[in-house]
Amino acid sequence: MGKASTDRFTGYFYVTPALLVLVIGFFVPVGIMAFASLSPIKPGEWGMFDNYARFLGQPALLGALWNSLFIAGIVALASVAVGFPLAAAIVFGVPERHQRLVLTLLILPFWTSYVVRSYAWLLVLAPNGVVNQALMSVGLITEPLRLNFSVAATAIGFVHFFSMLATIIIYSGLRQIDKRLLLAAGDLGAGSVRAFVRIVLPLSAPSIAVAAFLALVMCIGDYITPQILGGNTAPVLPQAIMNQLNRSNDVPMAATLAFVLTTVVLFVVTVCVPVYRARVKS
């Protein structure tokens, strides 16, 4: 690569400021949290993993973990299921020179803030909001459905956001497929369905995996969307953490839950990334 090897310390010199800030703002706080999760609520009553035992003993907190995993799983699958057809429609149905514009326009609301986006869905799903009014005017329902403050509302808000992310990721995956492969498949007698299943789907699998993975990881860590759209019907882990902090003022338990959350995310990362790398290589 032609890197200079004259001075062994020059590289470190430039990295040091960033590392200092990272240590103060990231590694120390995370370390303090690890310590807090092991510390007793009442001074003196020391037991190494007491807080983790308390966590495992409380159905409400375990339920929050389950809700997090359940919603994140559904959201990851649904986001890919929405994003894939959209990406495919752009790649295979829109003329080359317009593709970038269509894609940019389609994912423009991605840049709305979390809070505004969640509030906007609150409007759409309100008892007298547009969805309920539309359904009633068509005659499908007579009484407005209670859509807000439910797991479904949370999931819709999440899927809206992550399907945009999935669209752009899967789009770049589909773009990399050599179109000549499809022509060759056609010449060899494969119909479009068969060509799709045997060529397009396997070759875009890595991008689908990345999209699902990002949705999963980002979804598990978010507090805003479930708090605004889900309310307290089925609290997820981040909501449980905030409750420990604000209502119970139980910092050790908040730290413990935060560590459970981090462990889940890191588990997903360490399991998914090597699998994905192996797939890409083969």
Subset of 34-63 contacting other proteins (CB under 8 A): 36
Provide the CA 1 distance to its chain's centre, in angstroms: 36
Which of 89, 181, 182, 199 is the binder for other proteins (CB under 8 A)?
Answer: 89
- The contact pattern for other proteins, residues 156-185, with x = CB under 8 A and - = no contact, is ----x--xx--x------------------
Q: What's the CA gap between 51 and 57, in Å, rounded?
A: 10
User: Which parts of 1-30 interact with other proteins (CB under 8 A)?
Assistant: 1-5, 7-8, 10-15, 17-19, 21-22, 24-26, 28-30
Neighbours of 108 (CB within 10 A): 10
Residues 200-219 that bind other proteins (CB under 8 A): 217
From the list 44, 93, 139, 189, which residue makes contact with other proteins (rule: CB under 8 A)?
93
- Rounded to the nearest whole angstrom, what is the least distance from the CB of residue 258 to other proteins in the complex? 5
Indicate the Cα dihedral angle 126, 131, 135, 136, nearest 10°.
40
- Select the residue interacting with other proteins from 69, 181, 245, 272 (CB under 8 A): 245
Query: What are the structure tokens assigned to 110, written together?
Result: 């991605």
Sole binder of other proteins in the list 46, 53, 98, 133 (CB under 8 A):
133
Task: Map residue 98 onto helix, strand or coil.
Answer: helix
Q: ∠243-245-250 over CA atoms, to 5°? A: 105
